[in-house]
Every structure is written in structure tokens, then in C-alpha cells.
């Protein structure tokens, strides 16, 4: 009977490596002993521990909860620590590359600091003063879905609005921040209207609801249906309703 330490043949792991500024990088192939239940992070750490000690990879929890190990596996944005080798095709090597939307720092580690700058621009939670903090359970659930985000930025990585036109970054916040804004909006005690921010600063109207962000979210947040579409509807209602426009005189 096999256990987690029993080897089951070899795995070919191809890691796209490079220094800062080298976005193309170069593929390096490692032969890794395949063990039952191993995840791709295990394979990368084996290569780091046994062959290339300077192979850079970011990780913390190895439990799918810190969001640090986001990368692309066989071209698909995923968490290295949540992707089991046995779930990947066996007739080809496992290919790992850094998230392509963000600049490389080294090997699999990217500079995601732009996201933290974007986050600072969201109008903060501003509770009603003097009101009693009583919530319906359905309100808790609505806000809580948005709070499950682990900031892996896989949704930012896959979103074509910033992936293929990096110059859009300053004017398009990306799905992670539509989720964060929704989490604040859905708090029953919050008093801020973020529609203007979403329209003018966060560029939500550039989103064409492809749902790619929802597909890659490891927390299964319904980003498009529960964060983006309701916000877009509010914006249409507030800024593009023909009767309201007529009454406003513009
Ligand atoms: S649904 Fe919108 S935010 Fe999500 S990936 Fe598509 S364009 Fe980007
Ligand atoms: S919304 Fe999902 S995919 Fe996007 S950063 Fe949060 S956890 Fe990651
Ligand atoms: S190491 Fe924390 S999510 Fe993968």
C-alpha cells in the first residue's frame, strides 16, 4: 500500500525562471520523484531543495489560505499548494510560470504591489453613527462572501483588461477590488456610495463580464454575479437612466 512518502515514478517539472526585467525567462526542467497526493508546490520545493537552491517561489501556509503561491500551471492561473499533480495530465510535463500580469521579481515571484496601491483608493467603510448593529443573517452572508478573498490576485492575473493592456492598470481596478468594494457596500451599517468611484476611478465599465475571474477564484467567490453585475446595474441606474438624465438636464 502506498503512503504520502512512497514514490510513484518521476514527474517532469518545467519552471520558467528569470531575473527582474526578464519577462520571457527560460524554461528549466527538473526530474522530481512523484509521491501520492503531492501538490505542485511540493515539486517546486523539491527542485529548490535538491537542485537549485536559488529557485525563488513565494509561499506561506501551504493550505490555500494565504494567497502567496499564486502562479500559472500549464498556462492556467492557480495556487501551487492547492493543485494536485495527480489531477494534471500525465502525458506531458507540468509547466509552471509566474503570473503574467505582474512584473517578475525573480523566477515565480512577482511584484503585486500595484494591487495594494489600488486598494488604498477605495472609499473606506464609514458606519452610521449611533445606530444599533443588528443584522439579518442574509446580510451577513452577502457581505461575508466578499470577505473570503485571500488576495491571491489570480483573478487580476486572468482578467484580459489588465493582462494584455498593462497601461489600463491605473484606470481599471480589476475584479479583486470590485469584490472588496462590494464587501464594503454590502455591510448594512456602511453609508458610502461607491458608484462614482467604481465608474470613474475603478473603470468597472471596461469589464465585459467574461467571468474568467470567477472561474479561477480559489475561494469560489461569485465575482461577476455577486460583485460586478450588481455594481454595474447600480451605475446604469444612477448615471445612464434616460429619465434621470433628463431630470438632471444632462
Ligand atoms: S468578468 Fe470583468 S473583471 Fe472578470 S475577468 Fe472578465 S473582464 Fe475582467
Ligand atoms: S477574489 Fe478570489 S481570485 Fe481574486 S484575489 Fe480574492 S481569492 Fe483570489
Ligand atoms: S502557500 Fe498559502 S495559499 Fe498556497
Mean pLDDT for the stretch of residues 208-214: 97
Which residues belong to CATH 1.10.1060.10 in the chain?
113-248
- Cα separation values, 139 from 101, 161, 162, Å: 34, 31, 32
More confident residue, 74 or 132: 74
Pick from 2, 74, 1, 72: nearest CA to 37:
2
The answer on pLDDT for 219 being more than 80 is yes
The answer on pLDDT for 76 being more than 60 is yes
Q: What cell numbers appear for 107 in the block? A: 523566477
**Contact assessment for residue 176 and residue 161, using Cβ atoms and an 8 Å cutoff:** no
Q: What cell numbers appear for 99 in the block? A: 503570473
CB of 216 shorter than 6 A to ligand 1: no
Q: What cell numbers appear for 179 in the block? A: 469584490
Position in ligand 1 atom list of the atom nearest CA 162? 8
Q: Which pLDDT score, from 0 to 100, does residue 215 have?
A: 98
- pLDDT (tens digit per residue) in 161-201: 999 987 877 899 999 999 999 999 999 999 999 999 999 99
Q: Which pLDDT score, from 0 to 100, does residue 187 have?
A: 94
Query: What's the distance, CA 58 to chain centroid?
Result: 15
Angle 241-205-155 (CA atoms, 0-180°, nearest 5)?
A: 140
At residue 3 the predicted structure's pLDDT band, cuts being 50, 70 and 90, is very low
The answer on pLDDT for 10 being more than 80 is yes
Which residues belong to CATH 3.10.20.30 in the chain?
7-109
At residue 135 the predicted structure's pLDDT band, cuts being 50, 70 and 90, is confident
What mean pLDDT, rounded, does the chain reach?
94
Q: How many C-beta atoms lie closer than 10 Å to residue 214's C-beta? A: 20
CB of 44 shorter than 6 A to ligand 2: no
- Cα–Cα distance measured from residue 28 to residue 12, given in angstroms and rounded to the nearest whole number: 10
Q: Which pLDDT score, from 0 to 100, does residue 169 have?
A: 79
Q: How far is the CA of 217 from the centre of ligand 3 (A)?
A: 13
Q: How far is the CA of 117 from the centre of ligand 1 (A)?
A: 20
- Cα–Cα distance measured from residue 149 to residue 219, given in angstroms and rounded to the nearest whole number: 7
More confident residue, 5 or 120: 120
- pLDDT (tens digit per residue) in 85-102: 999 998 999 999 999 999
Provide CATH code, domain 113-248: 1.10.1060.10
The ligand 3 site (C-beta within 6 Å) comprises 59-62, 64-69, 79, 81
- pLDDT (tens digit per residue) in 17-47: 999 999 999 999 999 999 999 999 999 999 9
pTM: 0.93
CB of 151 shorter than 6 A to ligand 2: yes
Position in ligand 1 atom list of the atom nearest CA 223? 4
- Cα separation values, 119 from 11, 105, 116, 223, Å: 39, 21, 5, 17
Position in ligand 3 atom list of the atom nearest CA 218? 3
Kindly state which CATH superfamily the domain 7-109 is placed in: Beta-grasp domain (3.10.20.30)
Q: Whose CA is nearest to atom 8 of ligand 2?
A: 152
Number of H helices, E strands in the chain: 10, 7
Pocket test for ligand 3, best of 45, 61, 84 (most atoms within 8 A of CB): 61
Name the percent of the chain lying above pLDDT 70.
Answer: 96
The answer on pLDDT for 2 being more than 70 is no
Q: How far is the CA of 25 from the centre of ligand 2 (A)?
A: 26
Pocket test for ligand 3, best of 69, 77, 151 (most atoms within 8 A of CB): 69
Question: What three-state secondary structure class fits 180?
Answer: helix
Q: What cell numbers appear for 138 in the block? A: 442574509
Position in ligand 2 atom list of the atom nearest CA 153? 5
- pLDDT (tens digit per residue) in 39-69: 999 999 999 999 999 999 999 999 999 999 9
Q: Which pLDDT score, from 0 to 100, does residue 117 have?
A: 95
Which runs of consecutive H residues, i.e. helices, occur in the chain? 40-50, 113-120, 137-147, 154-158, 160-163, 175-185, 195-196, 212-216, 229-235, 242-248
CB of 182 shorter than 6 A to ligand 2: no
Name the percent of the chain lying above pLDDT 90.
Answer: 86
Position in ligand 2 atom list of the atom nearest CA 148? 7
- Cα–Cα distance measured from residue 156 to residue 174, given in angstroms and rounded to the nearest whole number: 6
Amino acid at each position: 500500500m502506498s503512503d504520502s512518502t512512497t514514490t510513484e515514478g518521476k514527474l517532469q517539472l518545467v519552471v520558467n525562471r528569470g531575473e527582474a526585467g526578464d519577462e520571457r525567462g527560460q524554461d528549466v526542467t527538473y526530474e522530481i520523484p512523484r509521491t501520492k497526493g503531492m501538490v505542485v508546490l511540493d515539486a517546486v520545493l523539491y527542485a529548490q531543495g535538491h537542485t537549485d537552491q536559488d529557485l525563488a517561489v513565494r509561499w506561506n501556509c501551504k493550505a490555500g489560505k494565504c494567497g502567496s503561491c499564486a502562479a500559472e500551471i500549464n498556462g492556467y492561473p492557480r495556487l501551487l499548494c492547492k493543485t494536485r499533480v495527480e489531477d494534471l495530465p500525465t502525458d506531458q510535463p507540468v509547466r509552471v510560470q509566474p503570473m503574467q500580469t505582474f512584473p517578475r521579481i525573480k523566477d515565480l515571484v512577482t511584484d503585486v504591489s500595484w494591487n495594494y496601491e489600488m486598494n488604498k483608493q477605495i472609499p473606506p467603510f464609514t458606519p452610521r453613527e449611533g445606530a444599533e448593529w443588528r443584522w439579518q443573517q442574509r446580510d451577513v452572508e452577502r457581505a461575508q462572501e466578499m470577505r473570503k478573498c485571500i488576495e491571491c490576485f489570480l483573478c487580476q492575473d486572468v482578467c484580459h483588461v489588465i493582462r494584455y493592456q498593462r497601461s489600463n492598470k491605473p484606470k481599471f481596478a480589476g475584479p479583486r477590488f470590485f469584490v472588496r468594494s462590494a464587501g464594503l457596500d454590502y455591510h448594512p451599517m456602511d453609508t458610502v456610495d461607491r458608484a462614482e468611484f467604481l465608474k470613474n476611478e475603478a473603470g468597472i465599465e471596461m469589464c465585459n463580464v467574461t467571468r474568467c475571474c470567477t472561474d479561477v477564484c480559489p475561494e469560489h467567490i461569485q465575482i461577476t454575479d455577486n460583485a460586478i453585475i450588481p455594481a454595474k446595474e447600480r451605475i446604469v441606474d444612477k448615471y445612464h437612466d434616460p429619465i434621470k438624465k433628463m431630470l438632471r438636464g444632462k
